[in-house]
Amino acid sequence: MLYPPIEPYDTGELLVGDGNRVFYEQSGNPDGKPVVFLHGGPGGGTSPWHRRFFDPERYRIILLDQRGCGRSTPHASAPDADLRHNTTWHLVADIDLLRRNLGIDRWQVFGGSWGSALALAYAQTHPEAVTEIVLRGIFTLRRHELEWFYEGGAGAVFPDLWADFIAPIPVLERSRMIEAYHRRLFDPDPAVHRPAGLAWTRWEASTLTLRPDPELVAAMTDPDTAVAFARIENHYFVHEGWFREGQLIENARILRGIPAVIVQGRYDVCTPMMTAWDLHRAWPEADFVVVPDAGHAASEPGIATALRAATDRFADDAVTSEG
């Protein structure tokens, strides 16, 4: 489904201000077609297998860990973590600063889940810097998207897992789960924020795939990883991504001249197909691929295959246009 594992030929830290250092790496062909991979969460960080969506002979593959997670510092798992300077628009600025620092005029933007929201925000802000867009598991942080997954809707599909998610929250606070978790996740006492971080992250990790994936759940619930992931996600969700309601879909008109592919799992519970459908209707020029036997995760066979097909197609388009 994906290309063989490869190692980066370059790694570095980008000083982006506010005391933050953003980790990045480059792999593949230094003279190839540039692509930037935007990970999910927010707060998910990158993994070596993310390089494998791209032909290493034809792509210059750039991965970065967004503020506060992965190998970027300071890390959001620290008891005194300060996320005031961690917003969507800080990340958009970081991405474009990295592009300019790497001497890239234009690049392909690839993002899934939260990464799809960030890719849309970046491309709508800097359309002149984007050659193509590949999106997966569309998420735009509209109020009803957040309420579906964190306020009870998805609990109708996974009532057993939902029971574990609400267990740390007193009954009288369960009508506003995102806010209730916010109070606990940002309590400086590790005895409070660590169990909350694990519960929040376990809920998401357990619902990502069509079939249970215990290895994925175990990887995501490493304590430091889980706390950073939960804190950053919750911070973004409390602020609804710093977007105007419906902004990313409304502004899809800005992208109509940019070749794009949208890949969506039919049975995605985390980011249901309703959002991808709304984006498709607002942006019919983008190819819309529905994977009939998949949930949310990029690692699911049908989704991985569709994503690789998209990047292969755009690499071929580049070769054709250059020829």
Active site residues: 113, 268, 296
Report which DSSP code applies to 39.
-
CB burial of residue 194 (10 Å; 0-12, 13-18, 19+): buried
* Residue 270 DSSP label: S
Residue 112 token pair = 């899934």
Q: Is the dihedral of CA 1, 123, 286, 244 positive or negative?
A: positive
Among all chains, which residue has been given the structure tokens 């867009």? Answer: 133
Cα gap 262→260, rounded to integer Å: 7
Q: According to the 3-state scheme, what is the secondary structure of 92-116?
A: HHHHHHHHHHCCCCCEEEEEECHHH
**Dihedral, CA atoms, 69, 11, 107, 249, nearest 10 degrees?**
0
CB 53, CB 5: distance < 8 Å: no
Whether 67 and 86 have beta carbons less than 8 Å apart is answered as yes
Q: Which residue has the tokens 């003279």?
A: 31
Q: How far apart are the first and last CA of the chain?
A: 28
